[in-house]
Each structure stands twice: as C-alpha cells, then as structure tokens.
A and B are shown apart, each in its own frame.
Chain A
Amino acid sequence: MAERHGMVERRGVGLWLTHLGLIVGVAFIFFPIWLAFVASTVSQPEIVSPPMPLWPGDQFVENYSKALVSGVNAPVARMLLNSAIMAFGISLGKIAISLLSAFAIVYFRFPGRRLFFWLIFLTLMLPVEVRIVPTYEVAANFGMLNSYSGLIFPLIASATATFLFRQFFMTVPDELAEAARVDGARPMQFFIDILLPMSRTNIAALFVILFIYGWNQYLWPLLITTDPEMNTIVMGIKQMFPSGDDIADWPVIMATSILAMIPPVVVVIGMQKLFIRGLVDSEK
C-alpha cells in the first residue's frame, strides 16, 4: 500500500525498537515450543537433573520412534490415526449436514422452516462442556463408548457452519436458480452442479477451522474413550503421566506433544489465507 509510506511509520532507531519489540513477542510465543522440541531430542537423565539443556540433543530418532511405536499406554501412531479420523469426521460431517440444511432453509419454503432455524440457533448455547453428563449417558446408551462414531457424532451439529452457508447462499444471484428451474433442473442437480462448486472457497475456509476444532478436542474424548487404543493424541498426552510420585517419561511425552501440534499447525500455515478467512467468517 503506497499510502502507508506516511509520517506515522517508524524509521531509524524507532524502526529497530519496533522490530525488537516484535521479536521479543515472537520469542515469548516460541519459547515453550522450543523447549518441548529440545526435550524431545535429549535423554531422560539430561532432563531429570535440571537445568535441562537449551539446545537439541542427539536422541531425536530414539524418542520419536519410541513414542510412535510403543508410547506409554498405546502407540502414538495409533493415537494420531484416531485424531485424524475424529478431525476429518467432525469437519467433513459438519460441513455436509450444514450444507444440506442451509440449502433447504434458503431454497425451499416448508412447514416448520422457522422453527428449524431457531432450533439450530439454540445449539449455539449448548456447548458440550455444559451438558457433559447427560450427553455421555446418551452416547453410552447407544453403545458409542470407545468408538469413532462416539467421538464424532455428538460434536457434529454446528450452528456456525449452517449460518455461514445460509449467508453465502443468500448472496448467490437468484437468476442462477431461475435459469436452472427454467432448464428443468431438479433441485439436487442445481445444488450439486452449481451451488457446491460456487461454495468451494467457503467450504475450504471452514474446513481449516473445523479441522483444528476437531483435532484439538479434549474433554469429550476424555469421557468417551477409556480404552487407550481409542485415545486421541491431544487427550492421550495427559494419560502418559504416571500417577503418584514416579517421574514422567518427559522425552517421550514431549515428542508426543510436538507430534500432536504438527498437523493443525501445518494446516494453519499451509492454508494461511483460507484460515484467516475462515476465522473471520465463522465469527460473523
């Protein structure tokens, strides 16, 4: 932006102070992750006799392969798989059911449309943290404990996604639907051939946000999975701490923490534009 070369930006010493301030901020943000990475590359004795080193050691392969193959209660590779299934299930499921219901709300007039709209709206007020015990009972009655469907379905209804698609469909020119109708296209044909391709960017942006939401779930997997083989990685880390006075296997725990943050971080950085768009959209 050319207009930004004004007199309010910093130059000279001020510029360097600005950079310095930002670098301190970035360092503050990075430090815990740097330490975790260092801890995941050194041996247990180096950690239990503090202070631990601040520079990576040579145990990278040992620690990560130990975590991935055997872990503490279950192999971390298995927990990564569980997390991936849960995150994809939740994000794709939310997008699918929200697209369908938004299409129905915008393009049809059917009895109960308004009621339905308000029912979805109300779900905004019912985060899982608020209804944990009864929701757990429902899942248990369905035999959903320690299952992927138990990890996915109770978290799949999303008012945010439905509203987002509704808002987007409202901006789609009426002429398109008119033309489709004149051409004799069935509603589902219009949905699949025209509406879906037009929603591509919205879907992708929402996917980024929902994937992170699904991957980072903690309380729900904690309740619903008692079998270590079904643990997700984010909730499984806490389970790796020994009860009582034993010292935790920090190198393996820290390797697991790093592994737990890689997929969502890659998604955020790799799809930065979509991520920011999704973030802004989903808060509207």
Chain B
Amino acid sequence: MEKRVRFKGLWLPLLLVMPQLLITAVFFFYPAGQAIWQSLFIPDPFGLSMRYVGLGNFEFLLSDPFYRASFVTTAVFSILVTLVSMGVALYLAVLADRLIKGSGTYRTLLIWPYAVAPAVAGVLWLFMFNTRVGVVTWYLGVLGYDWNHVLNQGEAMGLVVVASAWGRISYNFLFFLAGLQAIPRSVIEAAAIDGARFWTRFRTIVFPLLSPTTFFLLVVNIVYAFFETFGVIHTITSGGPQQATTILVYKVYADGFVGQDLGSSAAQSVILLVIVGILTIIQFKYIERRVHY
C-alpha cells in the first residue's frame, strides 16, 4: 500500500528518521554486531587481548552439558508456562463467556495483574513459598509435605513456572474472551438445537473457531517465557538449585556478567538471536495469514 499524495523534500524526511536511526544503530546494530564478532574470540585471562577461535565458542557451547541442559530447561519451562497460563485463561474465558451479564466485571478483576512486573510477581510467590516464613510452605508442612524449592529442583521449577504463568493469565484471558465473543452465537445455538451438549460444542465448534487466537497466543507466550521471565528466575531461584532453573536468557546474564566469560556469553547471544529470528518469522507468517483471514 502506498500513499498517492506525498510531500517533496529530501533533508526533512532524513532528519525525521534520524533519531530512530541513530538509536537503533548505536544500541541495536552495533551491540548485535559486537556479539557476533566477540563470539569468534576468546579473551585472555587478563582481558588484554583476544584470540581468534572461529566457531570454537559455539563448538564448546554445544558440547557443554550445562548449556545443553539449559536448552532442555528452557524448553520445559516455556512449555509449562505457556500451557498453565493459557489453560487457566481459557477456562476462565469460557466461564465468563457463558454469562449474560457480569463478564465485564470479571474482565476488570482479571486483567490488572498484567501490570505487575515479572520481578514483583517473583517476590510475591517467593514470599508465599519461602522456606522459613512462607504461609503456603507452613500449611503444606501441616499437611505433612516438606516444601523446599531451595534444595528440590522439581519444586524450584514448579514455583518459577507458576509465578511466571500467574501474571500472564490476564493477557491470555483478554484475548481468549475477545475470541470467544467474536464467534457467532447462531452457530453455537444451531448446534445446541441439534442436541450437542456443552462439551461437544466446545470440542467441535468453539475450539476450532478459536484456533487463530490460540495459535497467536501460543507464539506470544513462548516468546514471553523465553525472554521476559528473567525477573522471575532472578528473584526466586537465581537459576538454581544446581542450574535447574537456568533458562537460556539467564545463562547469558550469569556467564557474561557474573562469570565474565565474554566469548561464551557472546556466542550464547548469537544463538538467542537466531531463536528470536525464527520466532519473529513464525509470528509474522501467522499475522500475514490472519490479515487475509
């Protein structure tokens, strides 16, 4: 699509795009280039010189059991966060959609956790499950269950998953509810007249018609779990115990800033770059399809 009417001028438009161009060049392209460049080198222990190692950093990374484990951790974490937050949101949206009135009130009650930062959500859940003062920990103890996410890897993963999914329910709820309300009533009522019960209607009509929303949310939530949950991990577990919750983004930070292993951190950045690229392309492919929908 192009505009028919245009203004004349050469310097003005260049001047207009300059602020964005400058910031993008300085803070996006130069650092990304640096990451790619640094990933080919290993700095000496004193940081005085760099030794070219080609793809050595990548070879080392991909054979490093900790890095491979981090891939698995990220996959498990992202899938769980996506399933939990989308599952709960879909359930609530289906319920709210069944109301003749009042769904707006529930929407107001449910959307605002979107505004709670992942790091703050992390602190809230950490507080509830704190091994010393946590309320939930205490009541679990009364029931005979000894909760300790500081030592138990599975519990640590469970806690960061729930804390990450919790704040995300609002977002998914909003999109699911909008998707549900866009489904023509007549279609569902026709099925009801034919004798289809709620669950049959949901399985054969509602869920298929909802699939564009579901697919969109799937991609968006995976991106969220990959990149925006750093705050949750950092506040609750700091990647532990024994790296059980060290997702890829956390590892870039831990190796680059805490461990000062710049070559490896840069190589990890490049790998993440490729992953974001793939996710972005999937997202856009889908959005193109949705436009023609």
Contact = CB atoms under 8 A, between A and B. Distances in A.
A8 B17 contact: no
Interface stretch (A28-36, A56-64, A66-74): A28-36
Interface in A87-140: 96-98, 100-101, 103-111, 113, 116, 119-120, 122-127, 129-139
A178 B7 CA distance: 9
A107 B5 CA distance: 7
Interface string B247-290: 00100110011000010011001001100110010000001000
A219 B220 CA distance: 20
A10 B117 CA distance: 36
Given A9-B99, A223-B257, A283-B216, A261 B116 contact: yes
A135 B31 contact: yes
A234 B231 CA distance: 9
A13 interface: no
A188 B24 CA distance: 24
Interface residues of B, number: 99
A268 interface: yes
Nearest to B11: A110
B61 interface: no
Contact of A170 (B1, B135, B170, B257): B1
Given A100-B20, A170-B3, 14 more contacts: A9-B100, A22-B106, A116-B17, A125-B277, A130-B249, A132-B257, A154-B23, A187-B9, A190-B7, A216-B116, A219-B253, A261-B116, A265-B112, A276-B111
Interface of B: 1, 3-7, 9-10, 12-14, 16-17, 19-21, 23-24, 26-32, 34-35, 38, 88, 91-92, 95-96, 98-100, 102, 106, 108-121, 123-125, 127-128, 132-135, 137-139, 166, 169-171, 174, 178, 185, 188-189, 192-193, 198, 201, 216, 220, 227, 230-231, 234-235, 249, 252-253, 256-257, 262, 265-266, 269, 272-273, 276-277, 280, 287
Interface of A: 3-10, 15, 18-19, 21-22, 25-26, 28-30, 32-33, 35-36, 39, 47-48, 50-52, 54, 96-98, 100-101, 103-111, 113, 116, 119-120, 122-127, 129-139, 153-154, 156-157, 162, 170, 174, 177-178, 181, 187-188, 190, 212, 215-216, 218-219, 222-223, 234-235, 237-238, 247, 250, 253-254, 257, 260-261, 264-265, 267-269, 272, 275-276, 279-280, 283-284
30 contacts: A3-B185, A7-B189, A8-B189, A8-B198, A29-B113, A33-B113, A33-B116, A33-B124, A35-B128, A50-B132, A50-B138, A100-B17, A104-B16, A107-B3, A108-B16, A113-B13, A119-B21, A120-B24, A129-B249, A130-B249, A134-B35, A137-B31, A174-B3, A174-B4, A212-B115, A219-B230, A219-B231, A235-B119, A268-B111, A275-B111
